[in-house]
Chains A and B, each alone.
Chain A
Amino acid sequence: MSTPADRPSRRLLRRLLPPALVLAGLVVAWALAVSLFAVDPEVLPGPGLVVESTWADRSALAPAAWTTLQEAVLGIAVAIFLAVLLAVAIDWSRTARRSLYPLLVASQTIPIIALAPLVVIWFGFGQTPKVVLVALFTFFAITVGTLQGLASSDPDSMDLLRTMGATRRQLLLRVRLPSAMPQFFTGLKVAVAYSLVAAIVAEFVGAEQGLGVYMTGAKNALRTDLVFGAVAVTAILTLVLFGLVALAERLSMPWRRPAQVEADW
């Protein structure tokens, strides 16, 4: 059924090659510009220097990255829990929809990042305030996605199950929640894309360990190369998280058509 060009590995390669080429081009341009114009490395270090210094400092960078990654993942986990709970409540009860949904939308006008100092005052300098901030920052996307997914349930399927005597709880479990999965994952992908950033901002405000602390330290020491290194590590970790969500999406919905699966990445 599948022609050689359709094999997953080939397809992935075809998908990854163009952006990889563009990225490589940009890095080469960066390296050339830095050496041609003899830019001060404190202003803009070349890519070679960034890689070299980052690798040399790996024993300090790795635990920092690990701390931030933990905060981000825990925060996402809390966000998923809250978001699904909230979305189901809003979907289930008209009262909940009327009272919670407007507040939920209005809550997004609050600049969550600006809450970071408050969260630190409340929860101290440990892991908790970072997890709280990541959760606050990411739960909206998951809630809205899940809500839309729940609302996208096929009315014919609902009617049919009702004529079979299904209770509301059965309808929720057997029609509405499975219907919501694709859009839940869309929301989750947006959420993970922001999760590390939220953790780092929380660390800027007050922390003992983490990428935010690492970047601040590198900046104060005028080690621009290490700031770049930390930024690159953040980007890579975000990509990894995004990839893991896409993988979970694929594995948890084996029923989809190949064309739908292809749109995951």
Chain B
Amino acid sequence: MSAAGGQLALRDVSKSYVGRDGREVQALDGVDLAVGPGEFVALIGPSGCGKSTLLRIAAGLEQPEAGEVLLDGAVATERLGRCAFMPQRDGLLPWRRVIDNVTIGLELEGVGSAQAREQALPLLERFGLGDFAQSWPWQLSGGMRHRVAFLRTAINGRPVMLLDEPFGALDGITRAELQQWLLEVWRDLGTTVLLVTHDVSESVFLADRVLVMSPRPGRIVAEEDVPLSRPRELRVEETPEFAAAEARVREALRVAVTGI
């Protein structure tokens, strides 16, 4: 499952939509960003700043009104099926056992279900879900469901992963555990990740680079490198380097929101 390529760029992307009151809302206004192969980038911004819209555009679920999306340096207009995407809610299919939820992406590509299971089982075992392979989704805790959802997103081996607030709905303890788990899986997969979040310490803990978005219309207004070594453990959050990086992102976010 090693990933070839894995470069994602958005050039001057704008998008507006008609809101519930019938007025046009500018969601994104000239967004430029680039994520390099194997890089982990977090996109942070106040709620409603259009970060989910941005991710949906990158995934190909929506098209920008202006601007373009590039994959591996080439303009990509048909992007569905090219990037791995994980929605905010886990979206597990309740009528499929855990293993069959994970294999769905392979099945869609025409891999036979027996072969797909063979491919998925080691992955489940390696990442702590082996005992749950035959469970129904309702039997899992929220954290477990998210792990399943993540492996399902990862199994096709797409070089770019787009994660839309994957841990937003989880409690703090589960969340910390999953962040750590995500880093381990990511190190194994070596994919490019663009993660949307509204949690500053999550963005610093996970990412190589944090992009800060302004409130609507969304625009990238700041960029902070995270100079923490990898592999990272939860303890890194106690270090002064972590605190400094977190403070810089928080300050950039404050400036983005208040404008002062």
- A153, closest chain B residue (CB): B93
A164 near B94 (CB under 8 angstroms)?
no
A161 near B81 (CB under 8 angstroms)?
no
B159 on the A face (CB < 8 A): no
Beta-carbon contacts of A149-181 to B below 8 Å, as 1s and 0s?
000001011011111111000100011001001
Size range of the chain A interface in the assembly: 20 to 34
Beta-carbon contacts of A179-211 to B below 8 Å, as 1s and 0s?
001000000000000000000000000000000
A159 near B87 (CB under 8 angstroms)?
yes
A255 near B105 (CB under 8 angstroms)?
no
Residues of chain A within 8 A (CB-CB) of B84 are 163
| A160 to B166 alpha-carbon distance, docked (Å) | 13
| A78 to B4 alpha-carbon distance, docked (Å) | 53
A156 near B91 (CB under 8 angstroms)?
yes
> Most chain-A Cβ atoms within 10 A of its Cβ — which of B60, B104, B162?
B104
A255 near B108 (CB under 8 angstroms)?
no
A253 on the B face (CB < 8 A): yes
A161 near B89 (CB under 8 angstroms)?
no
Residues of chain B within 8 A (CB-CB) of A170 are 108
CB proximity to A under 8 Å, residues B46-88: 56, 59-61, 80-88
A174 near B87 (CB under 8 angstroms)?
no
B127 on the A face (CB < 8 A): no
| A162 to B78 alpha-carbon distance, docked (Å) | 12
Residues of chain B within 8 A (CB-CB) of A166 are 108
Please give the distance in Å from A262's CB to the nearest CB on chain B: 14
CB proximity to A under 8 Å, residues B122-140: 136-138
A175 near B93 (CB under 8 angstroms)?
yes
- B101, closest chain A residue (CB): A157
- A157, closest chain B residue (CB): B91
* CB-CB under 8 A for A165 and B81, given A159-B61, A174-B93, A255-B136: yes
| A255 to B95 alpha-carbon distance, docked (Å) | 5
B188 on the A face (CB < 8 A): no
Residues of chain B within 8 A (CB-CB) of A161 are 104, 108
B60 near A154 (CB under 8 angstroms)?
no
A160 near B85 (CB under 8 angstroms)?
yes
B61 near A157 (CB under 8 angstroms)?
no
- B86, closest chain A residue (CB): A160
Beta-carbon contacts of B143-171 to A below 8 Å, as 1s and 0s?
00000000011001000001000000000
Residues of chain B within 8 A (CB-CB) of A162 are 61, 80
Residues of chain A within 8 A (CB-CB) of B85 are 159-160, 163-164
Given known contacts A156-B89, A253-B95, what 5 new A-B pairs fall within 8 Å (CB)? A159-B91, A163-B85, A164-B81, A165-B108, A165-B109
Counting from the closest, the 4 A-B pairs by CB-CB distance are A165-B81, A156-B91, A163-B85, A157-B91
List 16 A–B pairs whose Cβ atoms lie within 8 Å, in order of A's numbering. A154-B91, A156-B91, A157-B92, A157-B93, A159-B91, A160-B87, A163-B83, A163-B162, A164-B105, A165-B108, A166-B108, A174-B107, A178-B95, A255-B95, A255-B96, A255-B136
Interface residues of B (CB under 8 A from A): 56, 59-61, 80-97, 104-105, 107-109, 136-138, 152-153, 156, 162
